Amino acid sequence: NDAATVSTATVSVDETDKAVTTSGTLTSTDVDNPDNAFTPDSITGTNGDLTIDANGHWMFTANSAFNQLNVGDKVEETFTVSSVDGTPSTIKVTINGTNDAATVSSATVAIDETNKAVTASGTLTSTDVDNPDNTFTPDSISGTNGDLTIDANGHWVFTASSAFNQLNVGDKVEET
């Protein structure tokens, strides 16, 4: 009995916001058994599940979205399947990390004018599934109506450039 010649598969997919799936088809050629097929199987792996049918059609479904993977990070898993005559083959699945955008809060503040330049302050938040130590870039920004500073922790302070005594009831000045 001559062993079958069985193809292998190596696939690479990028993580998304949901569990990724990928699929393909292996081939098996056997001079002793021209109708050689694959042994249908369902394999639970560390990173997901793989199924293969008798025709070599396989499907991998990840067990999570893998959002924690950053650019350059990856997880790999190799599944071993076989043809009906026992010839093994492998399917290697690599899930690559991508940069998931951070979610950053915003702030809207309304303050009344006074006889001196007004100030307002607060804290922005930022969460990032693939960069839990995400911080802000400290900066000082001069606007039309005042100056804003922000530190790495998201603490911000706006200082108006005047008292805005010229404003009448119902008038407003906005700064973005």
Arithmetic mean of pLDDT over the chain: 90
Average pLDDT over residues 89-109: 91
Sheet with 48-52, edge to edge strand ranges: 21-25, 57-62, 48-52, 41-44
For the chain, where do the domains classified as CATH 2.60.40 start and end? 5-96
CA 18 from chain center: how many Å?
Answer: 9
Q: Identify the CA nearest to 106 among candidates 136, 78, 138, 67.
A: 136
DSSP one-letter string for 12-27: EEE--SS--EEEEE--
pLDDT in tens, 23-43: 999 998 888 776 789 999 999
Average pLDDT over residues 72-85: 94
Position 66 scores a pLDDT of 92
CATH architecture of 5-96: Sandwich (2.60)
**pTM for the complete prediction?**
0.72
Average pLDDT over residues 105-115: 81
